[in-house]
Amino acid sequence: MQPRRVTRQVKVGKVAVGGDAPVSVQSMTITKTADVDATLAQIYALAGAGADIVRCTCNEEAAAEGLAQIVPRSPVPIIADIHFQYRLALAAMEAGVQGLRLNPGNIRKPDQIKAVAREAKDRGLPIRIGVNAGSLDPDIAERHGGATPEALVASAVRELDYFREVDFEDVKISVKASNVPVMIDAYRLLADTVDHPLHLGVTEAGPPPAGLVKSTAGIGTLLAEGIGDTIRYSLTADPVEEARAGRTLLEALGLRERRGLDLIACPSCGRAEIDVIGVAKQAQQALEDRRLPIQVAVMGCVVNGPGEARGADLGIAAGRGKGHLFVRGTVVRVVPEAEMVDALVEEAERIVEEGIEARLAAADAAAEAIAAADRDELVELRGVDVNHTQDRIERIRDLTD
Ligand code: SF4
């Protein structure tokens, strides 16, 4: 392994990328971003599988409005993927995303690029210049005789120059190609050209196993050379496979520690009924030594918690002074709040001994009804718009009209 290349650092929400930060894993949702519940459930599944950052497409106004609801409830920072319409980049920032990805191949007007960079600078948000061999700016492709490594890097540098004109340097860069040798050479050249953190990926790698092999060949080679600060496997598969593969590669190369317990916690938004971080810490301590091979979620409220973390084997959600214990999204038991961590540990052990199906079959018949009543009461008490997203949505509508 070569020493890691020295890069400047950017922050995607709470996740640092570049500098001395650990190499991070990214993945992308394949739900419609406007479908808030489905997208959040996928984000939770990705976080549980090892994704540090998740990207969502922002391809229409409804997607930007969805992001306004998703971001405050996501356990990991969200990046909006922008193609063609610079106004959607502005709308995504209004929605509260922690970063943007712009494709220089399809947003080409310098004024629009600079307008986005200025806004990102004002908001302290990073942007990834995401060059893609398949959608390279035609004039650059023509000049270089196709999507060569030099052409990919030229596209990135041209975009970076626009950003620099407005004094914006909070930038990560990717130069992805589906051809692995081209991708490797492009990143090597880019690493010699700029000091920005690099996001590695082999684009359109296809379904596993070929997609996994191609991605690992490209990303693994560069990481071993010390190049790369954040990675994404682009597989034609459930994105959970991407997150798992990314995580596994980093662990195999010794760039990330092996994960112990798979514990995810919600970020705790305006709906939270408990100190999520405190309870997550208690759960972590109680469960860590037991080395149970399950995924556990600690969620701040019963209104959305069981649904958002329905991919987790087991979870606890708070509400009305109670802990709602759920298995794969179904509430199986309701206990006083003070007993929720103990009940979580006990249920975790029983799941390992008896299996998920048996624990679902043993669910307290009244639990779902109690949870539903608590949910209704909470919504009644606090209203629907606990995160004040309506104001953001109004501003997004003004921007995209
Ligand atoms: S408090 Fe509830 S709605 Fe808010 S992020 Fe946590 S589980 Fe989701």
Task: Count, in order, helices (H) and strands (E) of the chain.
Answer: 15, 15
C-alpha distances (whole Å) from 69 to each of 34, 188, 196, 233, 390 are: 9, 39, 31, 26, 9
| Ligand 1 mean position, distance from CA 53 (Å) | 18
Cα gap 147→151, rounded to integer Å: 6
Residue 42 β-bridge partners: none
| Ligand 1 mean position, distance from CA 268 (Å) | 5
Reported as a single tens digit per residue, the pLDDT across 98-157 is 999 999 988 889 999 999 999 999 999 999 999 999 999 999 999 999 999 999 999 999
| Ligand 1 mean position, distance from CA 360 (Å) | 23
Instruction: Check residue 377 and give its pLDDT.
Output: 94
Taken in order 234, 237, 239, 245, the sign of the CA dihedral is negative
Q: What residue ranges of the chain have pLDDT lower than 70? A: none
Q: Indicate the domain borders of the chain.
A: 9-252, 262-382
| Ligand 1 mean position, distance from CA 308 (Å) | 8
Instruction: Check residue 231 and give its pLDDT.
Output: 98
Cα gap 279→299, rounded to integer Å: 9
Q: Which of 79, 118, 71, 119 is nearest to 99 (CA)?
A: 79
Instruction: Check residue 259 and give its pLDDT.
Output: 78
From 69, 266, 378, 389, the mutation candidate for ligand 1 (largest count of ligand atoms within 8 A of CB) is 266
Using only C-alpha atoms, the chain has a radius of gyration, in whole angstroms, of 22
Domain spanning 9-252: CATH 3.20.20.20: yes
Architecture of the domain made up of 262-382? 2-Layer Sandwich (3.30)
Instruction: Check residue 300 and give its pLDDT.
Output: 96
Instruction: Check residue 126 and give its pLDDT.
Output: 98
Reported as a single tens digit per residue, the pLDDT across 152-184 is 999 999 999 999 999 999 999 999 999 999 999
Q: What is the dihedral of CA 284, 298, 81, 175, to 10 degrees?
A: 10
User: Which residue has its alpha carbon closest to ligand 1 atom 2?
Assistant: 301
Query: How many residues are recorded in the chain?
Result: 401
Cα gap 86→65, rounded to integer Å: 16
273 pocket-lining for ligand 1 (C-beta < 6 Å) = no
